[in-house]
Amino acid sequence: MNAPLTAVVHAAASLCPCCNRPIPRDEVLLHMQRRQIVRGGIVLDLGPVAFPVAVVLLAAGVAGRHVTALELADVVYAGRPDGGPDDAGLSLRKTIWDLRQRLGTLRLVLEHLPSAGYRIVDREARS
């Protein structure tokens, strides 16, 4: 069983913008405008495809559920007039592979459960 992973959506700072309390070092922060994930002072810059994938997978981790590749494709390509590339599955697999490599610096793991889908969880909670 994984311990809960908390994601807070706001600009990265050492104090919470709502209550001015210090943000714990293990808190995962999402900077929506800059497409960044921040944890423990480490900033991970993501592109226009990787960032929404990461946001959805972090939310799935918080909720204790998995997201299918089809759901990810809907998130990433639903707003495009052309519906996305013909090789959307390949593009998403590459994005997921890249994310998996880069999330390690934040002590996060991109899990894949073949029958259920993907999610991002805390590496320490997984052990």
Note the pLDDT tens digit of each residue in 94-118: 999 999 999 999 999 999 999 899 9
Q: Name the domain count of the chain.
A: 1
pLDDT, position 112: 93
Q: 1 lies in a domain? A: no
Q: Give every strand in the sheet of 28-31, ordered side by side.
A: 7-9, 28-31, 36-39, 42-45
- The pTM for the full model equals 0.78
Residue of higher predicted confidence among 40 and 4: 40
- Is residue 41 over pLDDT 70? yes
β-pairing, 42-45 with 7-9? unpaired
Q: 2 lies in a domain? A: no
User: What's 81's domain CATH number?
Assistant: 1.10.10.10
Question: How many whole angstroms separate alpha carbon 65 and alpha carbon 63?
Answer: 6
Q: 93 lies in a domain? A: yes
Q: 45 lies in a domain? A: yes
Compute how many other C-beta atoms are within 10 angstroms of the C-beta atom of residue 57. Answer: 25
pLDDT category at 54 given cuts 50, 70, 90 is: very high
Compute how many other C-beta atoms are within 10 angstroms of the C-beta atom of residue 76. Answer: 21
Domain with 74, as residue range(s), is: 7-126
